[in-house]
Amino acid sequence: MNVTVPMPNLSLVVPEILMVILACGLLLVDLFIPKDRKRVVGYIALAGVVVVGVVTAAFWGKMAQPATTFSGTFVLDRFALFFKEVFLFTTGITILISLKYLEIEKVSLGEYYALMLFCTLGMMIMVSGADLIVIYLGIETMALSVYVLAGFMKFDHKCTEAALKYFLLGVFISGILLYGITLIYAATGSTQLAQVAAVIKEKGLAKNPLLVLAMFMLAAGLGLEIAMAPFHFWAPDVYEGAPTPITAFISVAPKAAAFAALVRIFYHGIQLLEPQWQILLWIICAVTMTIGNVTALMQQNVKRMLAYSSVAHAGYILLGVLAANQVGVQGIAFYFFAYAFMNMGAFGLVIYLRRENIVGDDIDDFKGLAQTHPLLAVIMVVFLLSLAGIPPTAGFVGKFLLFAAAIKAGFYWLVALAALNSVVALFYYFRIAKAMYMQSPEPLPQLSPGRGLVLALVVVGVFTLFFGIYPQPLMSLAKDTAHTFMMFLS
Amino acid sequence: MMINAWDVVFFFLAGLILLSALGVVFIRHPVYSALSLLANLCVTAILYLSLMGAPFIAMVQIIVYAGAIMVFFLFVIMLMNLSKGEYQERAVPWRLLLGLGAAALFAFQIFILAGEWRGVLSPGAGGFGVKALSHFIFTRYILAFELVSVLIFVAALGAVALAKKKL
Amino acid sequence: MMVLILAVVLIPLLGATINGLFCWFTKRKAHIIAVPAIAIPAIVSLILLARVLQGERFDQVLYWWIPLGDFRVPIGFLLDELSAIMITTVTFVATWIHVYSIGYMDHETPRGYAKYFCYLNLFVFFMLTLCLANNFLLMFVGWEGVGLCSYLLIGYWYEKASAANAGMKAFVVNRIGDFGFMIGLFLIYKHLGTLLFSQAFASAEQLSVGVATLITLLLFTGATGKSAQIPLYVWLPDAMEGPTPVSSLIHAATMVTAGVYMVARTHALFNMAPLSMEVVASIGAATALMAATMALVNNDLKRILAYSTVSQLGYMFVGVGVGVYAAGIFHLFTHAFFKGLMFLTAGSVMHALHGELNLQKMGGLIKKMPITGWTFVVGALAIAGIPPLAGFWSKDEILAGAFMGGHRIIWAVGTFTAFLTAFYMFRLIFLTFFGEPREKHLYDHAHESPPVMTIPLIVLAVGSAVVGLLALAPHGGIVGFLNRTLGEAHEAAGHEGGLTYILMVISVAMGVAGVVLAYFMYMKRMPDPVAMARNFRPVYTLLYNKYYVDEIYFAFIVNPVVGGSRYALWKFVDVIIIDGAVNGVGRLCRLVGGGLRYIQTGFIPDYAWMILVGAVVIYWIGRLF
Amino acid sequence: MIPLSHIIIFSLIIFTIGMVGALSRRNVFIVLMSIELMLNAVNIALIGVSSAMGNLIGQVLAIFIITVAAGEAAVGLAIVVALYRNRLTVNVDAINLLKW
């Protein structure tokens, strides 16, 4: 019996293949590295991530047109490439800020870095998946790694609790996501986005209630990682409990991946249901922004506050999804880089304050930072300004793009609400600044940051400012991304 | 309404599955609950085999789900050797009510769409063989297949990293 | 060209960044970074100036900030005759002041030392941005940036209450001016639809006279704040709390002239609004006179120089106000040299006398510190308008321009002020450097400053002596050069042979008269200044107390505002309205936030059902719409 | 001839039962098993649809779901073991250090 298995075009998945080799190789290398020098594994992982990043970037020029492989279940376009770079950048920075932290927490293990790479792999598949099955498997690969990473400090009560919460809610929601996929499959007979779109168009299923429900279930499934209301409940608890580098990681990368998958499914799969999903996302967007910002006001724990802030940011980014125009996609793409800079930076500061017996995540730990570490305080202010969306920072440019997109699409009320929310947000960001500048420091043990952390902070700090003053390069990349992505649509 | 043999089989199996599912949720002791789930999965496998023409899935269901996952569950439950107080939950009626209410709301939502599901199952029509399925997996979904292997590896790696006692 | 301009702008920023980020490393060696960071741009500026001299011109948008549809903010540079002169002046003077600072800031803590140079470099960066901007917004960024650095540097010794207060005062007063400037920018954008200089000026003629007058007056409000003109001059004398090189660089030579530069830069708009021009010239003349009179009786070395700066800035505004923009900028250029020089010599004196500033305690210092003394005399001669030193040429241009333009009263005021200027400057010199030492103790400890401080003095003194001669260069000299961009507003009427020389003679005579009077009063004691002060007590008191302007501001503006806000506003507005509404909203938010956080019970099943219920509710709301 | 809607409604019932279990039970093991039950319900629906439409995609996805469920079980149980070591409880109601 002869079955011919056609060889798929593997050149498009070179970054993913490299990632798998890197992660597996890392585990092998880990065996030969003594326990007190696990940092070396981190360096290797970092080097590998940089290599994969360069390889991924090399595709950019060739991908003016999207290309598919694996019988159309995998697509590589600039949109996917852009987000892959976001993930790789975030992973690199996370590795940098983890090096010292893991030693302080005494959980320096090679598996940590391997899991992080596998997680990145899952996200890379997610943004390139053109088939719901592949996207689902990408989500699960990412999610399983993140669950473990969130509970990596396994002797810490809060940490394991965070992992359990994340895990249970994640698995629960993934059941709903699967039901959504099943519904789409039942209605259209396919899971491949292009075919789904074709069938919807052909059979005129745009108002099919099954599909509407399926759309909502998909949004719910991805909404958990996005941390949009009402699927955000896990976020504050997990952010607080997880190891801080992982908190930084999950506040950016899985969110970006889920957003990218959401955008791809909604724009390329069920775009004819646009009127329906716009209504739903409108409500979710309004609720998400408001809940995130208002709840953040009263938080005493900075990690928790940033968790709510990240919920609110998910709301702002939803504006771009809602707008469904080129500027919107450009805004989403730009915002995620900006968001990666400023959020990684803010969490990096929290890690910086980690010392013996002090987690550094209480707002009181920031007291008088301007006096003891003026430069650190200035950098934190840059991140806070950016998070609050004040020029000249990258956060402002990103928010401007998203708002402009929403205005262009006619969502005036939502933009007004978003602007109002931005004002509310100022209050809690200002609380940190106030603690740093207007309160006197308490005598605390000396800070001893690792070099990796300092490097990471400088990199993200410089980027936050640089792309605020000169956003052109990133903006034009984001514009190309959006252009090819939306071109495919029409 | 004509009742044929397949209907009888379906309702019989469905009844069994339903009962065992209720068992999973409402039995106090986790071990018995797990056994109930085991039964549930096995009967589901029969459903796949008999009515839906999916023999391979039925096998996988028995081997992986029932054979591996459930054994794993039972193993961990017994390993912990929970005292009676641990698994004997105090009833929290409002939570049960809320759970029921939320779930009912959700079910209602899909239920009212029942009319949208078209098509019928024709048991005994043969269905797909393993060959067709494997061809499908190894051509069109080869990427997904490879990814699943990575996923299983990640799960094993993560489980070991979390569960081993020493660092 | 682009590369050179970027180098000029960015190298100081680089220096500031290095000293800012690595102050723990550079410490005492901060100047090794900071001085080249200004010196290199100074050399590059000279190259640029040479190329502009050959007729090159550069006006290009570097990039658009957030280019999105109609909303485009240009970031770009403009190098023409005006900005070339400005950057050359700024970088040249700044270089020598940086060198001087090495000696002057000797006693600071290592980190403070690095911080000081960081601020100074940052200031130069913003100043160059201001001068080279090719659009209003970037200019505004530079404008605010120099204000920020000025504020930081005035309050450099923030432990001193007076320094902190002075910083605050400068900050507040400047905000008033900037507010006007900002509204002006909005109006420009609204009426002309662009922020680019080239486009805005090209279409300036479309503006109606009323709008143009409004815009230019608003812009001039900004200028009065930054350039210390009536009524917003009060911050500058207090700004002398900062380190003296800072007073020299920022509060004499460069930043305070930004207002003059701005008016000259926007001359196309001012030309459309004759009324505004009158206002500018009148305020300039009034400020010149008033500040000069206040300097007559003051005994504080640095404050006299500060009033003199205010007065000279008044001259510059007279120049740009009567339409001889080039003359105003020329005076700005020469003033940077001699006023920078005089502040540095004042710093040298302070350095020698351990911070003593009171003239009445000095005297005879020229024997102890000859370089400082004689360079100061050069500067004073320059400011007094004695030919052939720098001040003579530029001041004469302004006064001639005013006279030719038909502003006879302004000319008279200016000429009289020239007399006052010469008088108070030489009063200062005679009291400080000549005669008998009045405080033996101070005199004995006085010493000449180290070479690192005196060399900049000599360089600037030579500059003060000769730069005026640029007026005699071919093709109309520096004025002709500047007029290539600034246009020959009233120049056609000027230089009518004999009349020009008569005016020149009059102003020189005024200067000489002032010097001679000062000599007789303070060296020969005839008439005795003490007796004079007694005989003209009311006038003396009025002048000594600076016309009570600070007190008036306090009585009529600050106190009512503060008091009013404390009593009326606080009691009524704050408690009832703010507390009731804004604070109420804040409180509501916090209340809601405080409540919302308790949704987060921490129990997993709760989260699960809340997710489910929330999702279903949102789904149904969505379906019903 | 069994109408597809029967299968779907049946799967839905099982799914809901699983959901009730996940929402109301407090023993982590039973919560986990309830979630497995939900996944199983999804599988029933998928294979039903696949069979009715004569299309293999549903079966492929079902196989993957079974595999992913195995992975999830492994990770979930490992987390529970780690938590049990720290807190000596498997009761989700006792796990709320992180709140507000």
Per-residue pLDDT reduced to its tens digit, A95-140: 999 998 888 888 878 899 999 999 999 999 999 999 999 999 999 9
DSSP class of B166: -
Q: What percent of chain D has pLDDT over 90?
A: 43
A312, A424 contact by CB (below 8 A)? no
Q: How many CB atoms within 10 Å of residue B120?
A: 14
Look up the pTM and report it. 0.81
Task: Report the C-alpha gap between C524 and C527 in whole angstroms.
Answer: 8
Asked if A294 is an interface residue toward chain B (Cβ–Cβ < 8 A), one would say no
pLDDT of A325 strictly over 70: yes
Q: What percent of chain C has pLDDT over 70?
A: 92
Answer yes or no: do A241 and D45 touch at CB < 8 A: no
Best of D4, D26, D68, D77 to disrupt the B interface by mutation (most B CBs within 10 Å)?
D77
Q: What is the pLDDT of residues A248-261, one digit of tens each?
A: 999 999 999 999 99
Task: Report the C-alpha gap between C354 and B100 in whole angstroms.
Answer: 85
Asked if C598 is an interface residue toward chain D (Cβ–Cβ < 8 A), one would say yes
Structure tokens at C255: 């930043």
What is the amino acid identity at position A52? V
Q: What is the pLDDT of residue C494?
A: 47
Asked if D70 is an interface residue toward chain B (Cβ–Cβ < 8 A), one would say yes
**By C-alpha distance, which of C249, C261, C245 is closest to C85?**
C261
Question: C369-378, C548-557, C591-600: which range is least confident on average?
Answer: C548-557
- Check if CATH label 3.30.499.10 holds for domain D4-88: no
* Alpha-carbon dihedral sign for residues A135, A141, A142, A147: positive
Residues in A touching D22 (Cβ below 8 Å): 168, 172
ipTM of the complex: 0.90
pLDDT of B96 strictly over 50: yes
Task: Report the C-alpha gap between C10 and C129 in whole angstroms.
Answer: 9
**pLDDT range class, residue D52, cuts 50, 70, 90:** confident
Answer yes or no: do C616 and B106 touch at CB < 8 A: yes
Answer yes or no: do B150 and A20 touch at CB < 8 A: yes
pLDDT of C489 strictly over 60: no
Q: What is the pLDDT of residue C516?
A: 87
Average pLDDT, chain A: 90
Nearest-neighbour CA in chain D from C590: distance (Å): 14
Nearest-neighbour CA in chain A from C2: distance (Å): 17
Best of B145, B152, B154, B165 to disrupt the A interface by mutation (most A CBs within 10 Å)?
B154
Query: Which of A35, A71, A137 is the closest to B140 by Cβ?
Result: A71
Answer yes or no: do A133 and D60 touch at CB < 8 A: yes
Q: What is the pLDDT of residues C90-144, one digit of tens each?
A: 999 999 999 998 888 888 887 778 888 888 999 999 999 999 998 888 898 899 8
DSSP assignment string, A67-115: EEETTTTEEE-HHHHHHHHHHHHHHHHHHHHHHHHHHHHT---HHHHHH
Residues in B touching C623 (Cβ below 8 Å): none
pLDDT of C169 strictly over 70: yes
Structure tokens at A448: 């001893």
Q: Which residue has the higher pLDDT, C22 or C328?
A: C328
Task: Report the C-alpha gap between A475 and C90 in whole angstroms.
Answer: 35
pLDDT of A436 strictly over 60: yes
Answer yes or no: do B105 and C619 touch at CB < 8 A: no
Nearest chain B Cα to A116, which residue?
B154
Q: What is the pLDDT of residue C578?
A: 47
Residues in A touching D31 (Cβ below 8 Å): 168
Asked if A154 is an interface residue toward chain D (Cβ–Cβ < 8 A), one would say yes
Q: What is the pLDDT of residue A477?
A: 92
Asked if C595 is an interface residue toward chain D (Cβ–Cβ < 8 A), one would say no
What average pLDDT does this structure show over C387-405?
85
Best of C141, C596, C601 to disrupt the A interface by mutation (most A CBs within 10 Å)?
C596
Q: Which residue has the higher pLDDT, C176 or A173?
A: A173
Task: Report the C-alpha gap between C491 and B64 in whole angstroms.
Answer: 98
Asked if C186 is an interface residue toward chain D (Cβ–Cβ < 8 A), one would say no
pLDDT of A46 strictly over 80: yes
Structure tokens at D27: 């023993």
What average pLDDT does this structure show over A404-418?
92
Answer yes or no: do D99 and C600 touch at CB < 8 A: yes
CB pairs under 8 A between C and D: 31
Asked if D94 is an interface residue toward chain B (Cβ–Cβ < 8 A), one would say no
Domain boundaries, chain B: 1-91
The contact set of A with C (CB < 8 A) is: 164-165, 168-169, 172-173, 212-213, 216, 220, 229-231, 233-234, 236-237, 276, 279-280, 283-284, 287, 291, 294-299, 327, 375, 397, 400-401, 404, 424, 427, 469-472, 475
Nearest-neighbour CA in chain B from C603: distance (Å): 11
Asked if B149 is an interface residue toward chain A (Cβ–Cβ < 8 A), one would say no
What average pLDDT does this structure show over A365-380?
79
Question: A124-138, A225-239, C321-335, C538-552: which range is least confident on average?
Answer: C538-552
Classify residue A32 as exposed, middle or buried by CB count within 10 Å of its CB (0-12, 13-18, 19+): exposed
CA angle in degrees (0–180, nearest 5) for C58-C61-C62: 100
Residues in D touching B157 (Cβ below 8 Å): none
Query: Using CB atoms, which chains have 3+ pairs under 8 A with B?
Result: A, C, D
- Check if CATH label 2.170.270.10 holds for domain B1-91: no
Asked if B102 is an interface residue toward chain A (Cβ–Cβ < 8 A), one would say no
Cα dist from C214 to A201, C206, C231, C284, whole Å: 60, 14, 18, 18
**By C-alpha distance, which of A294, A488, A317 is closest to A406?**
A317
Best of A147, A225, A280, A479 to disrupt the C interface by mutation (most C CBs within 10 Å)?
A280
Nearest-neighbour CA in chain B from A332: distance (Å): 27
Residues 23-62 of D with CB under 8 A from C: 23-24, 26, 31
Domain boundaries, chain D: 4-88
Answer yes or no: do A427 and C589 touch at CB < 8 A: yes
Half-sphere exposure of C522 (CA within 13 A, CB side): 27
Average pLDDT, chain C: 83
Q: What is the pLDDT of residue A445?
A: 67
Residues contacting residue A69 through CB under 8 Å, at least 6 positions apart = A8, A9, A10, A12, A13, A76
Answer yes or no: do C602 and D99 touch at CB < 8 A: yes
Asked if A182 is an interface residue toward chain D (Cβ–Cβ < 8 A), one would say yes
Nearest chain B Cα to C619, which residue?
B109
pLDDT of C249 strictly over 80: yes
Q: Kind of pairing, strands C71-79 and C58-68?
A: antiparallel
CB pairs under 8 A between A and B: 93
Query: Which of C601, C605, C608 is the closest to D99 by Cβ?
Result: C601
Answer yes or no: do C612 and D26 touch at CB < 8 A: no
Nearest-neighbour CA in chain D from B133: distance (Å): 7
Answer yes or no: do D2 and B51 touch at CB < 8 A: yes
pLDDT of A174 strictly over 80: yes
Q: What is the pLDDT of residue C492?
A: 45
Q: What is the pLDDT of residues B64-74, one digit of tens each?
A: 888 888 888 88
Nearest-neighbour CA in chain B from A412: distance (Å): 31
Answer yes or no: do A8 and B151 touch at CB < 8 A: no
Q: What is the pLDDT of residue A51?
A: 96
Answer yes or no: do B33 and D24 touch at CB < 8 A: no
pLDDT of A439 strictly over 80: no
What is the amino acid identity at position A289? M
Question: A10-24, A341-355, A431-445, B141-155: which range is least confident on average?
Answer: A431-445
By residue count, chain B amounts to 167
Half-sphere exposure of C381 (CA within 13 A, CB side): 17
Nearest-neighbour CA in chain B from C612: distance (Å): 6
Place of tokens 């903010």: C73
Asked if C65 is an interface residue toward chain A (Cβ–Cβ < 8 A), one would say yes
